[in-house]
């Protein structure tokens, strides 16, 4: 009986930890983003504490966008950023990280009503 209770507790703990674990990304990811009419190259640097820096070939003069990311269950990722000096344009990228954690793609939308698709691959 004790061993059954212990086994049930262990299984519950493992399931709880698996459901509540977070994925942390670090490193440089490159890809593209755009709308139906236009595409641009993008580089995202995933840093510590879920921070990111985003560089775009389309918006070179603005420097970098800064923001944060979160990866939740089922490898869904949300990236939120602001472009400093560009009338504080903010945008959100919603996507899915592949199971090997080296490719992600999804949709983006900004507060100036622009939207489109993006993809990124991890650089090794």
Q: Is residue 67 part of a domain?
A: yes
Closest CA to 91 of 61, 69, 72, 63: 69
Q: Is residue 7 part of a domain?
A: no
Q: Give the chain's domain count.
A: 1
What's the chain's length in residues? 124
pLDDT tens, residue by residue, 54-65: 998 876 666 788
Q: Is residue 44 part of a domain?
A: yes
pLDDT tens, residue by residue, 3-18: 544 445 444 444 444 4
Q: Is residue 16 part of a domain?
A: no
Q: Which domain holds residue 93?
A: 23-122
No. of helices (H) and no. of strands (E), the chain: 1, 8
Q: Tell me the CATH number at 56.
A: 2.40.128.120
Global pTM?
Answer: 0.76
């Amino acid at each position: 009986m004790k061993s059954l209770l212990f086994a049930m507790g262990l299984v519950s703990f493992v399931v709880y930890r698996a459901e509540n674990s977070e994925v942390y990304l670090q490193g440089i990811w490159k890809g593209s983003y755009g709308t139906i009419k236009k595409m641009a190259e993008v580089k995202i640097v995933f840093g510590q504490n879920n921070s990111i820096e985003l560089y775009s070939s389309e918006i070179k003069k603005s420097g970098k966008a800064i923001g944060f990311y979160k990866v939740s269950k089922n490898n869904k990722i949300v990236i939120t950023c602001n472009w400093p000096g560009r009338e504080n344009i903010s945008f959100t990228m919603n996507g899915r990280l592949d199971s090997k954690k080296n490719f992600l793609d999804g949709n983006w939308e900004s507060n100036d009503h622009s939207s489109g698709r993006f993809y990124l691959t991890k650089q090794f």
